[in-house]
Amino acid sequence: MSPRQPLLMDCDTGVDDALALLYLLRTPGVDLRAVTTVAGNTDAAQAARNALQVLELDGRTDIPVAQGADTTLRGDIPEYATHVHGDNGLGNVRLPEPTAPIAAPDAADLIIATAREAAGELAIVATAPLTNLALALEREPELPAMVRTLTVMGGAVHHPGNITPVAEANIGNDPEAAHRVLAAGWRDLTIVPLDVTMRERLTEELRQELLADGSPVARFAGEILDLYFAFHAKVAFPARGSACHDPLAAAIAAGEVTPLLAPELHVTVETGDGPARGALIADTRGIHLGYPPHPDANARVVLETDGTFPARLVERLCRRDGAR
């Protein structure tokens, strides 16, 4: 039996982060070692509280959760996405107060400590602004060599942005942090942009499957998706449903989704104050040659998946695949 992959999730615990957390808890090949939170969908403290509640819902009070940055690297407070994720970040669905405390080290220190403990084998999946990782790099410049893989849900390559015409929220909410992290020289960096997450769609039929399952986890997942679906129906899709942002990135990090197209590209982030601020700049000039590896590639950028992951996510949350 292969050893389980040690993994840390850095998130801003909104609806899709919560689904990703539950997915990772129920993935047999993953050993979720720690969770760190940052301001984005909500403030970092609320995100930490949400993470503790979601972990406890599935009986996992043993996983440390550390609170991280509440402002960007340049001191801005992000514009929280309460219109997307609800006032509490979890679709306005209320869970019992967590019994486990927030971990004593802050998020950056917990990232570094977890990487050291995993001895070069840690996978990190970041589904939020990259401020915590940027701060961890300041404290431990060798972090990229200490981490096996970094998977970032963020950015848009050919797809429009979702907070500006060109910027996606996780990159656009702290462009300076994203620029620093993407340029840090990781051993294996994968970016999962809107190009693929907007095509992996959760539907109302799948939500009803979650609600009908009856288990606390599945019912909670179905309930938090209600508000999330309503937002997407107004701005993105012609019918109730949603993109599958963070769970898809988690599945790619866990090795359970194999991209159909993921060229090796050079990527950076626009940090100026003009209309392109926060844009992920990916050099896709090799598109007509079938995306040969870029000579200065620093990331694998996922541009196509097969579109079947949402159904597998629902199966996992309903435990119909025997994951636990």
Q: List the beta bridge partners of residue 301.
A: 191
Known catalytic membership, residue 245: yes
Query: Residues with Cβ < 8 Å from 227, sequence gap 6 or more?
Result: 15, 85, 86, 91, 92
Instruction: Report the C-alpha gap between 65 and 86 in whole angstroms.
Output: 21
Compute the radius of gyration of the chain from its Cα atoms: 18
Q: In the chain, count of helices (H) and strands (E)?
A: 13, 12
Count of CB atoms situated within 10 Å of the CB of 324: 11
Instruction: Report the C-alpha gap between 230 and 242 in whole angstroms.
Output: 9
Choose the catalytic residue: 85, 179, 232, 245.
245
The structure tokens 């998130």 sit at: 11
Residue 53 · residue 128 · CB < 8 Å: no
Q: Which two tokens stand for residue 222?
A: 């179905």
Burial (CB < 10 A; 0-12, 13-18, 19+), residue 4, is middle
Q: Which two tokens stand for residue 65?
A: 């959760």
Residue from 55, 43, 126 nearest 89 by CA? 43
- Count of alpha carbons within 13 Å of 30, Cβ hemisphere only? 27
Residue 149 · residue 196 · CB < 8 Å: no
Q: Which two tokens stand for residue 88?
A: 């509490």
Q: List the beta bridge partners of residue 149.
A: 123
Catalytic annotation, residues: 245
